[in-house]
Amino acid sequence: MGIHSEGIPFIIANSVIWAAAFASVLKWCHHPLLKVILSVVCLFMFAMMIIFFRSPKREVTSDAELIVAPSDGEVVEVDKIYVDEYFGCECTRISIFLSLFNVHITWFPTGGEVVYSKYYPGAHFMAFLPKASEKNEHTNIVVRDAEGREVMFSQIAGIVARRIVCYAEEGAQCVQGSEAGFIKFGSRLTVLVPGEVEPMVAVGDKVKGSVTPLARFK
């Protein structure tokens, strides 16, 4: 387990803020119980920043016939919808909600060529709401594998998330399970696949990014 490079500036800044707050509590707070409570709050907030930006070492699931979870979290949607953007057809949709306690790295669900990558500014509704997929700030990325099969995945900001980091550039080659980006604080990942696929998860399932298979190509 390490710390992701995206979190280093945040951790440094927060260490200064919470260290100063902790020192102030020790110096100026004279009520024993309140001093303990405020000290615990300072330490908890600093620890949360470390936990949020953790970067775990994982055994990546590598199988060209599988679409692997691009993030940690809980499955909140498994259905079919019509997708106007890029595909213009009905797609299988699998959405994952990430809480503040999940690892927030984004991984490529399949390998191949990045053929589409587009960023959209937007709102910051709670990420577990269905409208968040379309209304919130998000980035859509499409990967085409060696068989010509395409998968779109969307990094979607939440009510707290204020910055989406995307490493996927059009024309670049990517490896299944390699890092595709990072979403800072609570968010959502949605996978969209045209054609026939066999979902391997259900609503309510917990998934691990780069490890848990979401669906199988038919």
Rounded-to-integer distance, Cα 123 and Cα 82, Å: 22
CATH for 66-217 is 2.70.70.10
Rounded-to-integer distance, Cα 192 and Cα 21, Å: 45
- Give pLDDT, residue 44: 82
- Are 125 and 136 in contact by the 8 Å Cβ rule? The answer is yes
The tens-digit pLDDT sequence of the chain (218 residues) is: 677 677 677 778 777 887 888 788 777 877 888 878 887 887 887 777 777 777 788 889 999 999 999 999 999 999 999 999 999 999 999 999 988 788 889 999 999 999 999 998 865 555 455 555 566 688 999 999 999 999 999 998 766 555 788 999 999 999 999 999 988 766 889 999 999 999 999 999 999 999 999 999 98
Spans of all domains in the chain: 2-55, 66-217
The upper half-sphere exposure of residue 170, i.e. CA atoms within 13 Å in the direction of its Cβ, equals: 7
- Give pLDDT, residue 108: 97
- Are 187 and 72 in contact by the 8 Å Cβ rule? The answer is no
Rounded-to-integer distance, Cα 88 and Cα 116, Å: 14
Strand order in the sheet with 179-184: 105-107, 179-184, 163-166
Q: Is 133 a known active-site residue? A: no
Please say whether the dihedral angle defined by the alpha carbons of residues 60, 64, 69 and 70, taken in this order, is positive or negative.
positive
Using the CB atoms, write b or e for 61-89: b if 16+ within 10 Å: beeeebbbbbbbbbbbbbeeeebeebbee
Q: If DSSP codes are grouped into helix, strand and coil, which group holds residue 199?
A: strand
- Are 141 and 152 in contact by the 8 Å Cβ rule? The answer is yes
The upper half-sphere exposure of residue 146, i.e. CA atoms within 13 Å in the direction of its Cβ, equals: 7
DSSP string, 103-148: --EEE-SS-EEEEEEEEE--B---TTSTTHHHHB-EEEEEEE-TTS
- Give pLDDT, residue 42: 78
- Give pLDDT, residue 160: 56
Q: Name the catalytic one among 95, 117, 187, 210.
A: 187
Rounded-to-integer distance, Cα 47 and Cα 57, Å: 20
